[in-house]
């Protein structure tokens, strides 16, 4: 098997970036470099993505004191945390399952992607890795974390966004997206931009621009073969987490992309299920310094918050 699956090659070809993707593939390995082990050991949070028993894809996060993520060998990872009961990925991770992972350090704008099979251990996970690679710092907002006491509330479920959730999403400058290929191999990725780049078209519809990236098209490639996706939108101040699962489609029409600053394509997301957990994270992050790569946010959609 090559570095890319069928869906990724379709997306790369549609974007006219097959040669760029071939060049980027040299960065994909199965072993964690030594410097990356040190980076992982310093992180207090890792974003994860996976699929539940219904085939829905979810994104979540795990937190702990620095050191809770460790690499006992070049192709394995230990995480001393599991999603709490009530998190959509709690039950799937009680058995071996494929997991997408993203370690991102907003303070330095560094990030690292890893994919592999997670096996439950007492109080944690042991992951056998099959893909490891770094990503560039584009679109990451710089933030500093502080630790604070927290008492997570019980998750609240719905099938559409509330007015308060719509208002929150219109101010978001960052979210994380989980996708999976046709075999359920999951991936977790980051999306960032100026507030307003994530648009609400209605209580069950979102849209965002797809900006220029590394030409790998891991996320959009997965969507070519499996439309299920999950979003994790953190409230960086309060630690509240908003988790959405649904289906996503890619609009490849260049005329539609041309109407949105910086957009190469447009992604539209239909929400099937919403989970909000107040004060879920023990981390509070400072006011952001926005990435210099962020294009201007698109104009608000009239009636989009109805």
Over residues 11-20, the pLDDT tens digits come to: 888 899 988 8
Per the domain annotation, does 293 fall within a domain?
A: no
SS3 of 94, please? Answer: helix
SS3 of 36, please? Answer: helix
Per the domain annotation, does 31 fall within a domain?
A: yes
Which pLDDT does position 304 carry in this prediction?
Answer: 53
E strand segments, the chain: 45-51, 57-63, 69-73, 76-79, 97-105, 110-121, 124-135, 145-147, 156-158, 174-180, 186-192, 199-202, 205-210, 228-234, 241-251, 265-277, 283-285
| Tens digit of each residue's pLDDT (9 = 90 or more) over 91-102 | 999 999 999 999
Per the domain annotation, does 243 fall within a domain?
A: yes
**Count of domains observed in the chain:** 1
Specify the pTM.
Answer: 0.96
Per the domain annotation, does 302 fall within a domain?
A: no
Cα 189 to Cα 175: distance, rounded to the nearest angstrom: 9
Per the domain annotation, does 170 fall within a domain?
A: yes
Q: Which residues contact 201 (CB under 8 A, 6 or more apart)?
A: 207, 268, 301, 304
Give yes or no for residue 306 having a pLDDT over 80. no
Q: Domain of 219?
A: 6-285
**Helix (H) or strand (E) run with residue 163 in it:** helix 163-170
Per the domain annotation, does 303 fall within a domain?
A: no
């Amino acid at each position: 098997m090559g570095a890319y699956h069928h869906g990724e090659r379709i997306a790369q070809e549609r974007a006219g970036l097959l040669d760029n993707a071939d060049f980027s593939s040299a960065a994909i390995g199965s072993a964690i470099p030594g410097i990356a082990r040190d980076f992982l050991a310093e992180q207090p949070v890792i974003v994860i993505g996976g699929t539940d028993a219904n085939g829905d894809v979810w994104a979540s996060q795990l937190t702990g004191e620095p050191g809770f993520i460790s690499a006992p060998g070049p192709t394995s990872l230990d995480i001393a945390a599991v999603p709490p009961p009530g998190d959509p990925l709690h039950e799937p991770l009680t058995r071996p399952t494929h997991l997408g992972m993203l370690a991102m350090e907003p303070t330095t704008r560094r990030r690292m992607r890893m994919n592999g099979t997670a096996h439950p251990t007492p109080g944690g996970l042991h992951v056998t890795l099959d893909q490891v690679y770094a990503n560039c710092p584009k679109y990451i907002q710089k933030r500093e974390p502080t630790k604070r006491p927290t008492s997570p509330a019980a998750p609240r479920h719905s099938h559409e966004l509330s007015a308060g959730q719509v208002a929150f999403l219109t101010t978001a400058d960052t979210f994380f997206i989980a996708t999976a290929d046709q075999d359920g191999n999951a991936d977790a990725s980051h999306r960032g931009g100026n507030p307003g780049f994530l648009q609400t078209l209605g209580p069950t519809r979102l849209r965002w621009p797809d900006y220029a990236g590394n030409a790998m098209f891991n996320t959009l490639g997965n969507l070519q073969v499996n439309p299920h996706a999950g979003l994790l939108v953190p409230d960086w101040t309060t630690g509240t987490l908003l988790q959405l699962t649904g289906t996503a489609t890619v609009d490849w029409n260049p005329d539609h992309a041309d109407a949105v600053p910086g957009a190469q394509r447009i992604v539209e997301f239909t929400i099937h299920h919403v989970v909000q957990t107040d004060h879920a994270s023990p981390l509070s992050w400072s006011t952001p310094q926005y990435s210099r790569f962020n294009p201007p946010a698109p104009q608000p959609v009239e009636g989009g918050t109805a």
